[in-house]
Structure 1
Amino acid sequence: MSNLTVANRYAEALFKVAQEKNVLNELNAELQLVKDVIELTPEFVQFVSHPKVKTDKKQAFIKESFGQALSEPSLHLIYLLVDRKRTDILVPLIQTFKKLALDAQDKAEALVYSAKPLAKEDEQQIAELFAKKAGKKQLEVKNVVDQELIGGLKIRIGDRIYDGSVKAQLDRMQRQLIAGTR
């Protein structure tokens, strides 16, 4: 069974538990914190997946590292993955869980690439405009600065990309000129 399939199963099970206990948003926030720690400190995953470190030491390290930031379901999930030597699926599991949590609330995440940081008002306008296009009630906008865009915006919602960047327009013109259609 592929790692992604296993991650999806764990995410769906955790999602059901979170819905039953009515802690969907809290659990999602906690898991995003775990994901940030994993992405910023690769040594964390190396330690908790090291075969010579005993499981109880790994669990104590996890509890000490996160302190009160994680609730019981989050801690038990990480303990379970450490125990079953499945820490490699933690990030895909968290991503799947976030998608399930957002879908349950009729929300979606939008990555907005721009040449310079967007103002909060601009993010809100983008969220309102593209929420309708995505068929969602609300969008969570995450701004990513990409100076290669030159200007304009590139928006990714799920597997859809809306590219209104200057770079994309210049690339289209270049292809048209090369093909001789203009």
Structure 2
Amino acid sequence: MISNAIARRYAKALVQLGAEEGAVDRFGVELGQFTALLDGNADLASVLKSPAYRIEAKREILRDVLAKLNLSGTVSNFLQVLLDRGRIGFTPQIAHSYAVFADELSGIVRPVLTSAFPLDDAQVEGMKSALAKATGKRVELSAQVDSALIGGVVTKIGDKVFDGSVRTQLNRIQDILQKG
């Protein structure tokens, strides 16, 4: 829980810097590149996170990595601050929070639509336009299939879930019948 609060704080600061510089998308890509590098290189991540290594050695390693990635000065400085404050291990959570804040700033929502059967393009576009109208934001819809729903759809937008599935309706009927 605390790590999420820390990640959100750093992510929000970087999004604000990105907005000031007109580089929100670029910063997101660069942060993603660095995060992917850490995910793919456990030794590098371990060294940068470990208190067993001197901070000067970790700074030098980070500088070399950042030079090879050719990141912007702002993102490079941001990552150096994370290293200096012992927060480099939060980079994946920061990248996730950054994407959320960047979407908010850009007026984008990324709902997940789950249906019992595959939807055709017209149905997906219809749902997309209905969600855009309801939220007043640009919609980047992700569709998936879960046959356990029996029928209907479940739409998740952030923390909100709109459940119009047959499975949920049957469960409600069952609860009513059991309660008498």
Counterpart CA distance in 2 for 1:63 and 1:145 is: 43
* Structure 1: segments with no counterpart, 5+ residues: none
Match of 2:178?
178
The DSSP-based 3-state class of the residue aligned with 2:111 is strand
Match of 1:159?
159
1:86: how far off? 0.7
Identity %: 25
The answer to whether structure 1 residue 57 and structure 2 residue 61 are counterparts is yes
Moved more, 52-61 or 104-113: 52-61
Residues 130 and 139 in structure 1, CA contact (< 8 A), matched pair in contact too: yes
Q: Closer, same or farther in 2 for the Cα pair 1:49/1:118, shift >3 Å?
A: farther
- TM-score, length of structure 1 as denominator length: 0.73
Looking at CA atoms only, which structure, 1 or 2, has the larger radius of gyration?
2
Match of 1:94?
95
Q: CA RMSD in A?
A: 3.2
Counterpart CA distance in 1 for 2:115 and 2:140 is: 16
The within-5 A match list for 1:126-141 is 126-134=127-135, 136-141=136-141
* Structure 2: segments with no counterpart, 5+ residues: none
Q: Closer, same or farther in 2 for the Cα pair 1:124/1:178, shift >3 Å?
A: same
Give the count of matched residue pairs.
175
Amino acid at match of 1:141: L
Q: Closer, same or farther in 2 for the Cα pair 1:62/1:152, shift >3 Å?
A: farther
Match of 1:85?
86
Q: Deviations over 1:102-155 (max 9, x none)?
A: 222222221223446655554433221112222x32112233444543443211
Amino acid at match of 1:109: R
The DSSP-based 3-state class of the residue aligned with 1:51 is coil
Q: Closer, same or farther in 2 for the Cα pair 1:128/1:46, shift >3 Å?
A: farther
List, as ranges, runs of 4+ consecutive aligned residues in structure 1 with deviation greater than 6 Å.
none
The DSSP-based 3-state class of the residue aligned with 1:52 is coil
Moved more, 44-53 or 159-168: 44-53
